[in-house]
Structures are given as structure tokens and as C-alpha cells.
Amino acid sequence: MNEIVGHREIVRGLQAGLQAGNLSHAYLFTGPEGVGKATVARALAQALLCQDTPKDSATVTGCLRCSSCHKVVMCCHPDLIGVEMAEKKTRIAVDQIRELARFLSLTPMESPWKVAIIDDAATMNPAAANALLKTLEEPPAQSILILVTSRPGMLLATIRSRCVIYPFNALSKEDFFRILADKTSLKDTEWDGVWHYSEGNVGFGLNFVAGGQLDECSRLHDELRELMTHGGLARLCDVAEHWSKEERFALARTVVGRWLVDRVRESVRSDSGAGGVRAWLAVEAFAREVFARGETFNVNKRYLLEGIFIKMIRTSGASL
């Protein structure tokens, strides 16, 4: 990790803490998904575990050269543990947090600190959250815990209150493009489309580009615009049938989601009053729930899409 893009205030704050030796036992990084919270958490771990960073250094990433920095990059440093939801699970389990607590209580092996990162901390089940609270109440010496989440409201208030909170903002368009320019080879004509669907979520943007999804999303967007402009029940059924195919359904969620966010923003800016905003927010929430159901359960996706389209057309004031 050579450089952190964006989040300058947060980086400055962490750097000041590192230089002054004024560190907390626990940090909570909050903010939108895909903006670099986990990246900064790993950078902070790297700086804490680095064997070769001068005290007055202006970096929050470590020296990037020593064996310790290399081990953090390779995810094999003996004084660093990362906890996240296990594959095919829906929550972080209590056993994972007990293992983390045991790890933090051990004497550091190669560095001054034992560091733990929990990503996405809001997915801890209640037993795991209570176990973590015990560790936060009596933090082992020389241990630092970094919690990462886009949903801090789902954490126990008693966990939040024991952490130093760093709220991350969405990335600017410029910073988002800088990160993607390093990792992709997008054509000039594609940048705006990727930004439109990603909204600063780097992880989403990279998957979106790697999957070559921009062209298909643009096609679906045109079909949706045509449907919303001209309506028609037969047309609505055709589009729903076409979009219900497995590979298109996930993209349909992206396209409809973006379309609805744009309608909400449009109604906020217009003179239509709070009623318009509320109506589009309700459709957006409905669509989110229906898509989640469609991706989780074996249900007829065409009917789900028809339900969403009907609500969208009615809310826009057009007739079917």
C-alpha cells in the first residue's frame, strides 16, 4: 500500500497520534462502503507494526520496505489478526471474537503491538458483540483494535462509546478516478458511466469494470428510460421477462437502484414538496427489499420486476 487516496483529515489525525504516541486502544472507522476504511485500517496496522519508521516520519503506512510491512501486505504478520464474516455465514460468530481476545492478550512476537481489525463489525452476532465488549472494557496492554463498518448504528452503543471514532466521507470524483486509473484501463468515454453506477464505491467500481458490466447496464438503462417514458403493459411485461434472466437480474438491481436514487434527488431539488420525495423513497425501499428477496429465495423474478416497474410508473405519474 503505497499511498492513501482521499481522507486527508483522517490520515493527518492518525499520523499525529502515531507521532505523539497518543494512541487509543480502540478505533471505529465508519462511512460509506468501498471508500477505503479497511485500507486505512491496514495502513494503520502497518505503521504500528513497522520496524523501520522514524518517529518523526510523515507516513501512516509504515516504511513499506521492512519485513514487517511486507508481512502485513501478505496478511501473515504474527502480531496482526483480521476478523470478518466467514464464507457462507451471515454474521461474525462469538468463537471468532474469543479467538481475537485470546490473540490480543498474548505478548507481541515481533513488534511493540498486537493489532486486530474487524471488518464489517456490524455483522457481529449478539454473543460476539458482548464478547467484544468485555475486551473493550479491559483492553490487554499493547493491544489496538480497529473496527470497520458502514453501519455504526447497528453496533452496541457501549461498543461505540469505547472507541475513538473516525467518520469517513464519500470519495470525491477526482480521488475515485485516481484510484481506478491505477488499477484499470478505462476508455475516456467510460469514466462517467462507472462513476454513475459506483458513486465512489471503489470495490463496486473495480468489480463493475472487471465484469465488463458498463455496456449492459447502459443498454438496460435505455430500456428503462423508454419504459418509463412510454409505459404500456405489454412493454412492461417484455422488459420484466428480459431482465429476469439470472445474469441480468443483478444488473437490473444496479440500474433500477441508480434510477430511483436519481428520482429521489431530482424530487429533493424540485418544487414538488416533501410528498414527492417520500413517494420515491418508498419506491426505492420497496425495490431494495424485493431485489434482496429475489436474490435470496427461489421466486419468480419476472413477477418481482413487474411489481417494481408498476410502482415506478405510477409514482412518476405516467399511465400503464
Which residues form the interface with Zn ion (CB under 5 A)? 50, 52, 62-63, 66, 69
CB atoms within 10 A of CB 192: 9
Please state the closest distance from residue 178 (CB atom) to Zn ion, in A. Answer: 24
If the CB atoms of residues 63 and 186 are measured against Zn ion, the closer one turns out to be: 63
If the CB atoms of residues 47 and 148 are measured against Zn ion, the closer one turns out to be: 47
Q: Bin 72: left if φ > 0, else alpha if -120 < ψ < 50, else beta.
A: alpha
If the CB atoms of residues 40 and 305 are measured against Zn ion, the closer one turns out to be: 40
Q: Are 173 and 154 in contact (CB under 8 A)?
A: no
Give the Cα separation of 130 and 300 in Å (integer): 40
Please state the closest distance from residue 82 (CB atom) to Zn ion, in A. Answer: 18
Cα 237 versus chain centre, distance? 34
Please state the closest distance from residue 182 (CB atom) to Zn ion, in A. Answer: 21
If the CB atoms of residues 66 and 206 are measured against Zn ion, the closer one turns out to be: 66
If the CB atoms of residues 52 and 238 are measured against Zn ion, the closer one turns out to be: 52
Please state the closest distance from residue 52 (CB atom) to Zn ion, in A. Answer: 5
Give the Cα separation of 8 and 27 in Å (integer): 17
Q: Which residues pair with 29 in a beta bridge?
A: 148, 166
Q: Count CA atoms within 13 Å of residue 88 on its CB side.
A: 0
Give the Cα separation of 247 and 166 in Å (integer): 38
Q: Are 223 and 235 in contact (CB under 8 A)?
A: no
